[in-house]
Structure 1
Amino acid sequence: DPVFGKTEEDRAKLWNLGGLTIRTTLDPRAQRAANEAATAKVNKDDKFAASVVQVQPGSGKILSMGQSRPYGLDQKQNETVLNLSVSNKMGGSTYGFQVGSTFKPFTAAAALEKGIGPE
């Protein structure tokens, strides 16, 4: 990102010097729970992978993102550099997991609780 320097060399120098403040919405406890949930029943070498994302209602802040495949370049260890929780456009896989139909019952229940009819 050019905001960190005019050239790639300038940006690398800033990165290597340190002193940058990195802010995140990730919650360490939620992240630990997501990692444990993603790997509890799905092993890294299973044919299928699992991903878990927690989003704070109202703010949209991402509290955690975990997946059963570890991050890395070693394909023999079933590592991946893809975020399986997002679409390809966001740097994920074309096989990423979107919540889709899983959320429909929750959305419908919330609407019914607020008096919104099924029609």
Structure 2
Amino acid sequence: MNIISDSDIVNRIIELVYEINPDVSFQTRYGGIVFELCNNGHCRLLGGIYRYKRHASLELSQGSSLMDPSRVLEGTGKFRRHVKLKSVVEIESKGCHALLLQAMLQATIDRDSEPHSKTDQP
């Protein structure tokens, strides 16, 4: 895969994330581009996009808890999972939109259900 194809994959993932939630922020970190959802100074790392020699990888920080009926998520770690992408077409065919949407919804629900500090409780 050439660099132009890799860039196209990365750019399309970034566009897709913004389409789902324009409040997501991106940073260059860990050798790729990470994206996180922040609210009131509390940020939750959702995942990242990484380029490799023959593919790009969409990493999802809490991927192990996502529904994946097509079984496109790879990895065996406790939380993190990834989708290998060799073309822009695979972003759609591997269901990346649904996975990203789940990850963002989960981050919002998890954030809202976290216990409040003692000073916030009545």
Q: Which TM-score bucket, shorter chain as reference? A: under 0.3
- The structure with the greater share of residues assigned to strand is 2
Q: Based on CA coordinates, which of the two structures has the bigger radius of gyration?
A: 1
Structure-2-length-normalised TM-score: 0.26
